[in-house]
Structure formats: C-alpha cells, structure tokens
Amino acid sequence: MRNPHKNKKGFDRLSAALNNSFKGLKATFKNEEAFRQEIFLALILIPVAFYTGDTTVEKILLVSSLILLIVIELINTGIEVIIDRVSLDKNELSKLAKDIGSAAVLIAFLNCFIVWLLILFF
C-alpha cells in the first residue's frame, strides 16, 4: 500500500497528519461509547482539576491522568479495529489481544482514580 504522506514535506505533511488524526478522533467518538464517556468525563474533570489542584504539579497530575486514560482508550480501539479487520472469526489470540488492550484501559482508569483520590483527599 502506498504511503499517502511519502512525498509530502513540511507543512503539507503536518497538515495531512493532523487531518488524519482528527478523522481518527471523530471516528472513535462516533463508534466507541467508552471513548465518548471518557471525553465527557475529561470535559467535566479538567476544569475541576484546575480549581482543586493546589500546586501546578497537582494540576498536571490530575489532567495528565485523564489524558493518559483517553490515549490508552484510543490505542485499545486501534487494536480492536485491527483484529476485527484481520478476521471476525473467534480466535484465542485475537481475544487475548483484545483482553490485554482492555486491561491497559483498566490500569489507566485505576491510575486516574488513584491520582485523583490521593490529591483530593490526602
């Protein structure tokens, strides 16, 4: 398959890459309920982070834990899409890959929860 960015340079390459990124965000938002829930959670909690964090470091930790959760969800969705592209047949390795991606989201969520808990209550 031909790389669409291969011959692009400078701003044209950056513009094309940004366009593709926005398409990916839009498609994920449209098709993944968990991603929509995490985005809405972030839209609520990011302003709360700036209000409740006492120091710059606390604010950074609160916000970055939310962003990490969203990034891991995007990676998990990419894994799921690739697996479904290869085959919709049930396969133990496909299930394992999806389960591992899901576990990564769980760990990111627990990280977010613990960061918020420690900063807000301890």
Which residues 6+ apart lie within 8 Å of 57 measured at CB? Answer: none
Q: Which residues of 71-84 are buried (b: 16+ CB within 10 A; e: fewer)?
A: ebbbebbebbeebe
73 is catalytic: yes
User: 32, 38, 73, 80: which one is catalytic?
Assistant: 73
Contact assessment for residue 68 and residue 108, using Cβ atoms and an 8 Å cutoff: yes
Give me the active site residues, please.
Answer: 73
